[in-house]
Chains A and B, each alone.
Chain A
Amino acid sequence: MASSLDSSLVRHVAHLARLEVSEEEVARFADQLSSILNYMEQLNELDTAGIQPTAHAVRLTNVFREDQVRPGWDQDRALQNAPARHGEFFKVPKVLDQESA
């Protein structure tokens, strides 16, 4: 079965990733992404009926710890790489009044 990505899906993905793409690029990426998906679909030709699923090489489930209060970093240490700070906070460019997602 051949997969294909239509141009509206490419535009949606580009929007989610905050990428600006031209109409030409939308067409090109739709082609390229479709051919990648088709390549991966070769896996569907394999008969995996009798094969145990392997999600991960390491057999670990539910790695939890007790929810205990522990000492953390002080604010100066946590903010030491901040390009700009406002008192005890990271200062970042305003993003919320742009086109809403």
Chain B
Amino acid sequence: MAAIDAIFDTASAVRSGRRAAEEVVGECLAAITAADSSLGAFLHVDADRALAQARKVDIVRRQGAILGPLAGVPLAVKDNMCTTFGATTCGSKILNAYHSPYNAHVVEALESAGAILVGKTNLDEFAMGSSTENSAFHTTRNPWDGARVAGGSSGGSAAAVASGMALGALGSDTGGSIRLPASFCGVVGLKPSYGRVSRYGLVAFGSSLDQIGPLTRNVRDAALLLSVISGHDERDSTCVPMPVPDYVAALDRPVQGLRIGISEEYFGEGLDDAVRSAVEGAIEVMCRQGAVPSRSTCHT
């Protein structure tokens, strides 16, 4: 697969005028046209709307206005997040014709930061599944190997990001639905702490567990997306009124003295050797830089 631009670099290239938003968005739309009939990452793509918004970003920039942190960046959202464009189906034919009268908080947040939403991504029906084979519309395939699943339930978002059909995407995670597909497709996925991101406009699965989070190609992009979608929103009463730290700046802090919990239960029977050595390797890298491993078990 060709090199795919990071969100961070793309946003700064658009802000400085080195790249036109229309061109950046056009590249993702071309990738969708070329690959999505075999991958099935999207349930809905609105190319005209995306290109029109991209042109608007380019015009605003030429007029000298200050652009948002995600200006011109093509992103995708899982189809259980309400958008006033297209349908919001949750991967179910029950909602085949549901057109939300309002946007989810995260959709408002991304768009006011200048992001361009290219479409809505596939999921296991109502987010209940771990493979994205259980969408009522089609299966999403793994971009690295079409014979394998993308993981789920945010499999469409993970496959879209891994294949460059969007530079980043949002998924939702109740019991692994961001983390699993991110891992299956080789992208970064983060489930934020409960209450960090407003669930307003997220179709509920398990209301006391659901959180929306980013899927991106690198950690810095995940930090950037998280900083845009986080924060208090009175329309979700379980959203915490706490300030949002500068997650991107926090990445430069050393890991010296950081205590890393490692639960033995994750290293049990059936663990693939390649996975084990990758995780152990990551622990070793952290420890060499001064992090302190703290191994524990749930069995007492």
Contacts and interface: CB of A to CB of B under 8 A. Distances in A.
Interface of A: 56-58, 60, 63, 65, 73, 77-78, 80-81
A58 B101 contact: no
B208 interface: yes
DSSP class of B's interface residues: helix, strand, loop or mixed?
loop
Interface of B: 97-99, 101-102, 194-195, 208, 234, 237-238, 240
Contacts of A63: 237-238
21 contacts: A56-B208, A56-B238, A57-B194, A57-B208, A58-B194, A58-B195, A58-B238, A58-B240, A60-B195, A60-B237, A60-B238, A63-B237, A65-B234, A73-B101, A73-B102, A77-B101, A78-B101, A80-B99, A80-B101, A81-B97, A81-B99
Contacts of B208: 56-57
Contacts of A77: 101
A80 B101 CA distance: 7
Contacts, number: 26
Contacts of B101: 73, 77-78, 80-81
Query: Which 3 pairs across A and B sit closest by C-beta, in order of nearness?
Result: A63-B237, A58-B195, A77-B101
DSSP class of A's interface residues: helix, strand, loop or mixed?
loop
A65 to B, nearest CB: 6
A65 B241 CA distance: 13
Contacts of A60: 195, 237-238, 240
A81 B98 contact: yes
Contacts of B195: 57-58, 60
A57 to B, nearest CB: 5
A78 B195 CA distance: 28
A77 B238 CA distance: 27
Nearest to A73: B101
A83 to B, nearest CB: 9
Nearest to B193: A57
Nearest to B234: A65
A44 B208 CA distance: 23
A60 B99 CA distance: 33
A41 B208 CA distance: 22
A32 B206 CA distance: 23
A78 B99 CA distance: 11
A80 B99 CA distance: 8
Nearest to A56: B208
